[in-house]
A and B are shown apart, each in its own frame.
Chain A
């Protein structure tokens, strides 16, 4: 059983106008399921990709969230949808997130300080969104990596919501060491594995396998490559691998899944 906790889905993928773009065509939910089947992923968390200007206009991710909701509705056994908003939009962002977690029934929040340009330390912008997530008991994932999305900026936020799970997407990207420091400071930070470029068995041993969830970042990364990277990570027990590939995420999303071999 494999749960991929970080995939992207939505209309913006079709309009992506950047050489660092999607590696595979995912226009429909069927395309997505095919990619998942192909990589042996049973369940995936899907969130809107970043919005870039061009033909498609969606700065506060309303259209993207609708697409996520629709895909999840018809594939509720396979897909877990995250709503995304731009916190700078203030009350509009709060309203949209309320719609996502209420009306759409989405099961998590995705925020991206780098692309959507805010600091996770900005309480006025971020706390109202966190409060909604707490109210709906859903985890919040922050993109992490490039400025201003360094892992350091998530520490105080995580400490302000000590019993709420906060996922550090890409586990800090190149700032893996910073991700580990932040995770030690704030026990409710969960590291999503896709960012690490190097072997990270030492980090997993240090922080404990409970703190990691497998994610690919698809379609900006190949799920198969990310799985292979994880499989080749040495010194992990079968139990640790199962936790990271599915067990921890299953707990996070209250899934009832049979424990099986990874």
Chain B
């Protein structure tokens, strides 16, 4: 089973069309792309909002599009709600709507783009309380100083030890820091999206363990086949280890297996 832990979909992509490899505006387009890469399911969330024809700073429209898509393809789409924590009560309201009414099974945040520090527990505490109560994993963009280098996530991971936290992009150039954070905690997972090199992915699986690394692509900015191939080719890891990375870890996180 292949589950892609990092998939974007929805109208927000309209404002950065030139960056996309293929269309993923609608659920049907997304499923076509997932089928082509033989992806069984994806963790899907809104792409970063930047100004343009489409206005959605607090991601309400982005979340709505993913809700509709998940309704249409319930077995293929794990909808994660994206919020901007700086919006305070408004963000909590959107979070609660998506979690309690729409039954989204996870949360996504981007400290660099949305401009908050990953160790700002005052801002993130109320969000994580809901994640804790509802058993929702939280996935974060990581890799930029000074908002989201991997070490900043340690405080959150320790304050909420039961909430699975995924660090996207393996912490980019701070990949070694990301490995340390994954080793120090039980609930931090490293996610491979973006331009992670094979060597970086290999190091993470080797050092942090195959049960702490999850495959993600960053579709449609990245070709998922390429990332899947990287992991499949790592034949020094067991079949089971690679299966864990490619989907089983996420499946367990969401009680799918």
Contact = CB atoms under 8 A, between A and B. Distances in A.
A52 B122 CA distance: 12
Interface in A61-84: none
Contact of B88 (A54, A87, A117, A119): A54
Given A53-B85, A53-B87, A53-B88, A117 B52 contact: no
Nearest to B172: A147
A59 B57 contact: yes
A50 interface: yes
Contact of A59 (B86, B116, B122): B86
B115 A117 contact: yes
A18 B147 CA distance: 11
Nearest to B86: A53
Contacts of A146: 144-146
A18 B119 CA distance: 10
Contact of A89 (B51, B85, B86, B88): B51
Interface in B108-148: 112-117, 120, 122-123, 144-146
A187 B96 CA distance: 51
Contact of A116 (B52, B112, B115): B115
A90 interface: yes
B49 A52 contact: no
Contacts of B57: 59, 88-89
Contacts of A59: 57, 86-87
Q: Is the interface of A mostly helix, strand, loop or mixed?
A: loop
A57 B88 contact: yes
A52 B86 contact: yes
Nearest to B147: A146
Contacts of A208: none
A117 B114 contact: yes
B183 interface: no
Contacts of A116: 115
A125 B122 contact: no
Contacts of A57: 88
A90 B51 contact: yes
Contact of A147 (B88, B122, B144): B144
A109 to B, nearest CB: 16
A112 to B, nearest CB: 9
A17 B115 CA distance: 13
Interface in A92-121: 93, 115-119
Contacts of B48: 117
Interface string A18-57: 1010000000000000000000000000000011111001
Nearest to A17: B122
Contacts of A53: 84-88, 91, 116, 123
A147 B149 CA distance: 13
Which of A50, A51, A53, A57 has the most chain B CB atoms closer than 10 A to its own CB?
A: A53
A122 interface: yes
Interface in A140-159: 146-147
Contacts of B198: none
Interface of B: 48-52, 55, 57, 84-88, 91, 112-117, 120, 122-123, 144-146
Q: Which 4 A-B pairs have the closest CB atoms?
A: A53-B86, A88-B51, A125-B51, A90-B51
Interface of A: 17-18, 20, 50-54, 57, 59, 87-90, 93, 115-119, 122, 124-125, 146-147
